[in-house]
Amino acid sequence: MRFDRNLLLVGLVLLGSARAFAADLPSPNAQTVEEAAPAGQPYWSFTAGTYLWAAGMSGDVGQFDLPPVSVESSFSDILKHLDFGAMLVAELRYGDFGLFNDFMYIKLSGENATPNGIVADSVSVDSESVTYTAAGEYRLIDDASGSLDLLAGARIWSVDTDISFSGGAFDGLTFSEGDTWVDALAGFKGRYNINSEWYLSGWAMAGGGSSDYMWDLWGGVGYQVNDKFSALIGYRASGVNYDNGDGFVFDVVQQGPVIGAIYRF
């Protein structure tokens, strides 16, 4: 069957924007917030937080066996379709070793009227996206000036999209498509302490597997409010090129400012 190209674009933008919220916010270096451990003894630390990546998106996305469509969406365009979002990040450390976790769930929806109302009066699109990143960490540098961690892990992506027709010849019809894929990743995450309160934070990651490639860059400034709480603001850019060979294409770059808050337990 043939869909109107403008109607499908609504679904493709929603598909892409689900990923646009998936920021892996870097957790603060434990050095400035950890209570002193006995000399030579490793310590346990746990940090958790929430964040928002106000990212726009550009690239090519496609599904339902139709040719990929170029999209150019600002964060405000994406926000109009947001129904619900949950974005959490956590890091567990023991001495030089750590485990980084990031979880994101996004539900988006939109509705668009058809030009002539023959095939349908309107088309609604619902998209649910889950992104989970887990990475092991090893601290290469840890001194008064900051730290540098080596990262290695995987990112899991899962997207489900439903297109439903109301009125016209297709009244009551619903078409669903989704995909789940996994990419391995590796990189570095670092922190530089400007003073006892302010610090710089950043990372660089790249990988692939199910996708042809993916990359992820972050840089920002953090403020240590007290020994438990810190706030971050910065900029992040990320890209991925995935094609499952069966009509599902996700070849995009997302970038925009990030804000977040992290708490040490």
Domain 5-226+254-264 falls under CATH 3.30.70: no
Beta bridge partners of 101: 90, 134
Using a pLDDT cut of 70, give the percent of the chain over it. Answer: 78
**Structure confidence by residue, pLDDT tens digits, 7-22:** 444 444 444 443 333 3
pLDDT for the residue numbered 1? 39
Please give the average per-residue pLDDT across 51-57, as a whole number: 82
Indicate if the pLDDT at residue 110 is higher than 90. no
Please give the average per-residue pLDDT across 105-115, as a whole number: 72
Per DSSP, the residues of 177-213 read EEEEEEEEEEEEEEEEESSSSEEEEEEEEEEEESSSE
Q: Structural domain boundaries of the chain?
A: 5-226+254-264
pLDDT for the residue numbered 219? 93
Higher pLDDT pick, 249 / 2? 249
**Structure confidence by residue, pLDDT tens digits, 208-237:** 999 999 999 999 999 999 989 999 999 989
**Model confidence band, residue 35 (pLDDT cutoffs 50, 70, 90):** very low
Longest CA–CA separation in the chain, Å: 76
**Model confidence band, residue 159 (pLDDT cutoffs 50, 70, 90):** confident
**Model confidence band, residue 39 (pLDDT cutoffs 50, 70, 90):** low
Output the CA torsion sign for 91, 93, 97, 99.
negative
Q: Do 127 and 62 form a contact (C-beta atoms < 8 A)? A: no
pTM recorded for the entire structure? 0.76
- From the list 201, 192, 193, the residue with the least C-alpha distance to 220 is 201
pLDDT for the residue numbered 250? 83
Indicate if the pLDDT at residue 248 is higher than 80. yes
